[in-house]
Amino acid sequence: MENSPEGSASSATPLLQIEGVTLRFGGVRALNDVSFSVAPGSITAVIGPNGAGKTSLFNTVSGFYRPSAGHIRFKGQDITRVPAPQRAKMGLGRSFQNIALFRGMTVLDNIKLGRHSHLKTNVLDALFYLGRAQREEAELRADIEERIIDFLEIDHIRHAPVSALSYGLQKRVEMARALAMQPEILMLDEPVAGMNREETEDMARFILDVREEWGVTVLMVEHDMGMVMDLSDYVVVLNFGQVIAQGAPADVQADPEVIRAYLGSGDVSDLRRKLHDGIVSKAVA
């Protein structure tokens, strides 16, 4: 089934296509014939129990793993063998499940690293801080300070070392670094994991706003089922490395295969109650 959320994206060519992707580690299949597409301007969520293959899928899409079979296409171009740094330059920006910031550096310096793949300054310019290096530095600071830092409401911590920040703020800084990559698709690996309710609500607002105000397509892995059902246009469900369901959130929520994967039963009302109470994330964490 093709990802076709309502609105302008419904008739558009998919921005990202995963076609029959299989990933093996020795004799273990982490992913098995996974196929789905991501429509431009959509929020697409990948869900599933622990060990379902979600992070393996993210690592394959972003270029850290090379699939054993299948293809990945970005804007119609086959990027299956394109290295990770080049994919980032093409417009695939991501965050990580385990925060991957430089803890001894400031918030601002961490965010600036996200733009590294787009900089054109050569070694000589950088060494002597010549004209092009100065211009790029000024443009980079203006974009980060006037847009990204303001957007994510972290101006008050811009000069703080990352190690001094709360977990929720570190996750926000990591999102800021991903946005500094100027992505067309923002890939978020468990963006609200470990957050309290207030932090989760803030992050959900930022995800919606980055789609609405910046026009960035979002692909996320997330365990918080209430957030997934509230934000997503399209949901893909993995279990044991295979897609067992995909479609609109309401359809996926009622799918018997999804219910069995999470609950081991066919009780739809029980799943709906858990989704409403926001406790499925605890059950599968």
| Mean pLDDT lowest among 2-11, 45-54, 68-77, 180-189 | 2-11
Residue 96 lies in a domain: no
221-257 pLDDT, tens digit per residue, is 998 888 999 999 999 999 999 999 999 999 998 898 8
Which residue segment(s) compose the domain that 129 sits in?
Answer: 103-182
Greater confidence (220 vs 163) lies with: 220
95-143 pLDDT, tens digit per residue, is 876 666 777 788 888 888 866 554 444 433 444 445 555 666 666 666 7
Token pair of 102 as six digits: 């430089």
Let me know whether 108 and 167 are in one domain: yes
Let me know whether 156 and 173 are in one domain: yes
Q: What is the 3 state secondary structure string of the chain?
A: CCCCCCCHHHHCCCCEEEEEEEEEECCEEEEEEEEEEECCCCEEEEECCCCCCHHHHHHHHCCCCCCCEEEEEECCEECCCCCHHHHHHHCEEECCCCCCCCCCCEHHHHHHHCCHHHCCCCHHHHHHCCHHHHHHHHHHHHHHHHHHHHHCCCHHHCCCEHHHCCHHHHHHHHHHHHHHCCCCEEEEECCCCCCCHHHHHHHHHHHHHHHHHHCCEEEEECCCHHHHHHHCCEEEEEECCEEEEEECHHHHHCCHHHHHHHHCCCCHHHHHHHHHHCCHHHHHC
Q: Which of 182, 214, 239 is the last residue of a domain?
A: 182
pLDDT of residue 139: 67
* Integer Cα distance of 263 and 272 in angstroms: 11
* Integer Cα distance of 126 and 249 in angstroms: 49
Token pair of 110 as six digits: 């961490």
167-203 pLDDT, tens digit per residue, is 888 889 889 988 988 899 999 999 998 888 999 999 9
Let me know whether 86 and 112 are in one domain: no
The domain total for the chain is 2
* Integer Cα distance of 68 and 161 in angstroms: 40
CB 220 within 8 A of CB 51: no
195-212 pLDDT, tens digit per residue, is 889 999 999 999 999 999
Query: What burial class does residue 62 get, using C-beta atoms within 10 Å of its C-beta: 0-12 exposed, 13-18 middle, 19+ buried?
Result: buried
Q: Rg of the chain over CA atoms, in angstroms? A: 19
Residue 69 lies in a domain: yes
Could you tell me which residues come within 8 angstroms of residue 147 by beta carbon, excluding any fewer than 6 positions away?
Answer: none
Measure CA 199 to chain center: 17
Let me know whether 259 and 283 are in one domain: yes
pLDDT of residue 282: 45
Let me know whether 177 and 193 are in one domain: no
Greater confidence (145 vs 180) lies with: 180
Q: Which of 164, 182, 200 is the last residue of a domain?
A: 182
Let me know whether 87 and 108 are in one domain: no
Q: Which of 120, 151, 182 is the last residue of a domain?
A: 182
pLDDT of residue 12: 67
Q: Is the pLDDT of residue 263 over 80?
A: no
